Every structure is written in structure tokens, then in C-alpha cells.
Structure 1
């Protein structure tokens, strides 16, 4: 049996050196670049800054978008929202951490 393609994420507020709790996250998928996004799941970061309840991706997904609603967490931040789009391969797991500050952010493929 094939392994499902999955995504996980967490947010670290590097300005205070702590997890960012209570940030809403939306996961959307699409089967090909340039096609419309389909909402797949919503979540919010827990006290450890993690979304632990994101479901496996639908078969045929080739691109994923994570939208982080950072504005309510950092009300005076330069980026009220962070959108991260990345390509996926069937059967892989993708951990995508967001390192956040009031005036910048960084993302990477974690493990």
C-alpha cells in the first residue's frame, strides 16, 4: 500500500524565541500549476506552535499552499499574512516550519 502524502508545520516567533500559538492556518491543494486552489483543511497552531491535525493530501496533488494568518498574532507586523507554495511528490512527508518576526519571515523544508 502506498504511503499518503502529508504536510505538517509549526511557527516559531524568533523575535521572542517562543512558539507562536493561536495562528490560523489554511491548507489548499491543486493538481497542476496554474489551476485553481482547492481548500483542503484549516487548523490553528497549538501552545507548541504546531498544527497537529492536518489531513493527508488528496491523490493527484502536485502543489500545496499554506496560508498563515499572522496579522492577529502580530497586529503591527509588516506581513499580515504569509503564503507558502511548494511542490509535492506522492508518498512524501513535508514539514514546513515558519520562522516569524514582526518585519520578516523564513521558511524551509524541515524533517
Structure 2
């Protein structure tokens, strides 16, 4: 199935990150300064996932993409900080073949990591 999915895990609190806004952009190229077109904005559910794929089979396209996870409000709501160290976490990546791409975010108020999941 050719889809793009994601989820967010709060590694500091050991739970899914619910209520986080995620913006998906289609990039014009791989360069850091490539122009970006907003494709959609979604909010994570109680499981830290989106209710539908970021890209379903009809929307799926090869090329460069960027997911921006807006984590500042999430950590501010948790009273971790009035001025969180991380505000937006951008993940830029390429889709080079037809497949299921899963791009999770593991995040704390001070760090993050990602990987290509399955």
C-alpha cells in the first residue's frame, strides 16, 4: 500500500503525544531552501497518531517532502516550560519508490529522533 503515516511518542513522559499539530509540505527539491507547498494540517489523536494517513494512495507521490511537528504547545501545556527548547521539528525526506513510508517522531522537551519505520 502506497501511503505515508506518522506517530509521535513523548519519550520524556513515556506516552503518545496527543493533540500535536502536524503540517505536511511537498518540496520543490532536496535543497534546504527549496520552496514548500502546504498539503495538509492534521492533529494527533490520543494514540499520538493521525486518524488517516498523511498521504493516502491517491495523494502519494515520489519526491521530497517535509513534515513539521509543532511540539511547543504540547510541551507548554504539560508545564514543562513556558518557552520550550523545541518549537517546530521539521523532518525533510525523500520518497523514492512506491511503498508504505512511516516517519515517526520520538521527542522530549530537549531532543528528538526519527527513522523510517514500517
TM-score after normalising by structure 2: 0.82
For residues 83-102 of structure 1, what are the structure 2 equivalents within 5 Å? 83-102=90-109
The superposition leaves residues 17-64 of structure 1 with CA deviations (integer Å, 9 ceiling, x where unpaired) of 1000000000001243244111111111000000132233454x4111
In proportion to residue count, which structure has more strand? 1
> In 1, distance between residues paired with 2:100 and 2:90?
19
The gaps in structure 2 that reach 5 residues or longer are none
Q: Which residue of the partner structure matches residue 116 of structure 2?
A: 109
Structure 2 counterpart SS, 1:74: helix
Superposition CA RMSD, Å? 1.6
Q: Distance in 2 between matches of 1:109 and 1:58?
A: 16
Q: Which segment is superposed worse, 49-58 or 35-44?
A: 49-58
Q: How many residues align?
A: 107
TM-score (normalised: structure 1): 0.86
Unmatched segments (≥5 aa) in structure 1:
none
Name the structure with the higher helix share: 2
